[in-house]
Amino acid sequence: MNIKEAKEEIKHTLLAYNKKDSRGHYTFPKLRQRPVLLMGPPGIGKTAIMEQVAEECNVGLVAYTITHHTRQSAVGLPRIVTRCYNGKETGITEYTLSEIIASVYDCMERTGKKEGILFIDEINCVSETLAPTMLQFLQNKTFGSHSVPEGWLIAAAGNPPEYNKSVREFDIVTLDRVRRMDIEADLDVWMEYAWKKGIHGAILSYLSMKKEHFYSVENTADGKFFVTARGWEDLSEILKAYEELGVEITENLISEYLCRDEIARSFFAGYQLYRKYGTDYGLDRMLSGTMQEDERIQREKMAQEASFEERFLVTGLLLDGLNGNLLIYEKTDRETEMVYQELLHLKTFLSDSRDISALDEFIDVKKKSLAVRLEAELLSEEQESQEAFVIRTLEKFSLILRKEHMTDVEAGFDRIKELFAEMAEKRKDCAGRISQELERAFSFMTDCFGDGQEMILFVTGLTRNSHAAAFIREYGCNPYFVCSEKLLYRKQEKKLQEECEALLKK
C-alpha cells in the first residue's frame, strides 16, 4: 500500500468510527474500533498524512513520539486514595490522568473539536518499562485507568526491524486487535504531492530520470546509508532558501540531506546542470513571450541536438516555470473568491445600516473572529494568510471610500463592487497569461521533441500537477488534449500489440 492509499483508508475509517444515529450517538461499537497501525520505512510521510487527514476532515490532532516519554508521563503518577469496601476503609493505588490523555482533552477544549486523531509515532520502539503500557493502549484504548475519549481515532506508526534495532515485535494477540497497514515508498504518489507542495524543480527533474534514487535505506556494518522522501523535501526547502539568499550550494550541503554518497554526488551534478540550462535556455522569457524569434529558433535547435539528460532537464525547467505561475494564479483565484464571499456577507450586514462606515464595524467583527480562531489553533498557516488578506482588502476598500467622501450605503457598496471587479479582471488577465504560456510551452516541446519521451514526460507532469490539472479543466488547453489523446492511443496500440504477440506464442 502506498501513502496515498493509506491516507484514504484513514479518512474512511474516521468517518466510519464517528458515524452517529439520529440521536447523536455513535453507532460503531467502541470495542470493534481497531486502532490503525502504519508500518513502513522512515521518512515516507506517515506523520504528514495524519496532519492532512485531520485538516481535511476538520478534526483535532494530538501527536506524540512515544520514545520521548516515560511510563509516568504515559500512564500518570501513582497516588494513594481511600475507598470503603464492606464498611471498611482501605487505601488503594490510583493514577493521575495520563499526560497523553490530558492532551486530548486540552485539544478538545482549545479547538472546540470533540473528535480527532490520537497519533503515537515510533510505537514499536518504546522502552522495556513502557512496552506493556503500549500493548494495553492498542488492545484496550486506555493509558493506565484512563480511556481515550469517544470520537477519537487511535493511530500509530512504526518502522520495521530492518530499519531500527530498537524495534519490538508485536505479538499475535496485539496484531489481532489493530488494523496494520504496510506502507511502501512510491515515487509516482510522491510526485503528485511534490508538485502540489512546490518542491524544487531540480529535484523533480532529477527523480524523473533517476527513479531508483528516490528512496534507499541500508543499515550495514559499514554505516547507515539512506535517502528518504523526507530528505528530498527538506533539501528542497534549503535549496530555495540558499538560492534566494545567493548562498553557494555545495556537494557537502547535498550530502547532509541525501546520506548516500553516490546519490548526493549524482544529484549535485544534475542540480548544477539544471541551474546552467535555466540560464542558457532563458525559458522564462520564452514562456512570457518576450524572447526574440531568432533566439527562440536558436534555443529550439540547441534542444534538438541536446543529450538525453539535457532534454529531460529542459522539460523539467519548463514544468517548473509553469508551476510557479500556476501557483500564483491559484492564490489569486482563491483570494478573489474569498473576497467575493465576504462581500455577500457584507451586503447582508449593511442592509440595516444608513452609513457605509458600518463597513469598519464589519471589519472589526472579522478581526475578532480571526483572533479567536487563531487562539484556538483552528486555522492552518495558509488559512490564516488567506483570511488576513481578505481583511486587508476590506480595509483598503474602506480607505478608498473615505478618501472619496462616500457615506451613502448603496453608493458605497456599488463602489466596492467596482473595486472588486478590478480584482476579478486581474484574475482573468492572470489566467489569460497562463493559457498563453501553456500554448508557447507546447509549441516549444513539439518543435524540439515531437511526440518523443520528452513530450510524454511533459504531459505526465502536467497531469500529475493538481494546479495544472485544475487550471486546464477550467480554461482548457487544446494542445494538451491533442497530445494526451495521441499518448493514450499509442498506449492502447502498444497494449494491443502485446496481446497479439501473446496470442501468437500460444
Per-residue model confidence (pLDDT) at position 217: 80
**Dist. CA 318–CA 312, nearest whole Å:** 10
C-alpha cell at 227: 535517502
Better-scored residue on pLDDT, 75 or 286: 286
- 87 by Cβ neighbours in 10 Å (0-12 / 13-18 / 19+) ranks as exposed
Which residues face 26 on adjacent strands?
A: 20
Give the least confident one: 7-21, 145-159, 245-259, 287-301. 145-159
Confidence of residue 373 (pLDDT cuts 50, 70, 90): confident
Q: Where are the domains of the chain?
A: 3-75+102-184, 326-506
Per-residue model confidence (pLDDT) at position 203: 92
Per-residue model confidence (pLDDT) at position 419: 95
Confidence of residue 337 (pLDDT cuts 50, 70, 90): very high
- 286 by Cβ neighbours in 10 Å (0-12 / 13-18 / 19+) ranks as buried
pLDDT over 70 for what percent of the chain?
A: 88
Better-scored residue on pLDDT, 438 or 165: 438
**Dist. CA 46–CA 183, nearest whole Å:** 8
Phi, psi dihedral angles at 470 (to 5 degrees): -65, -40
Sign of the C-alpha dihedral computed for residues 9, 15, 18 and 19 taken in this order: negative
Given 3.30.230.10, 2.60.260.20, 3.30.565.10, 3.40.50.300, which CATH number is that of 3-75+102-184?
3.40.50.300
pLDDT of 493 strictly over 70: no
Strands (E), 159-220: 179-182, 216-220
How confident is the prediction for the chain on average, in pLDDT? 85
The whole-model pTM stands at: 0.74
Better-scored residue on pLDDT, 404 or 63: 404
DSSP state of 34: P
Per-residue model confidence (pLDDT) at position 96: 55
Angle between helices 201-209 and 187-197 (to 10 degrees): 160
Sign of the C-alpha dihedral computed for residues 369, 374, 375 and 376 taken in this order: positive
pLDDT digits (tens, 9 = 90+) for 380-400: 788 889 999 999 999 999 999
Per-residue model confidence (pLDDT) at position 400: 94
List C-alpha distances in Å: 500 to 370, 376, 487, 490, 492.
64, 63, 20, 15, 12
Q: Where are the alpha helices (DSSP H) in 97-130?
A: 99-111
pLDDT of 501 strictly over 90: no
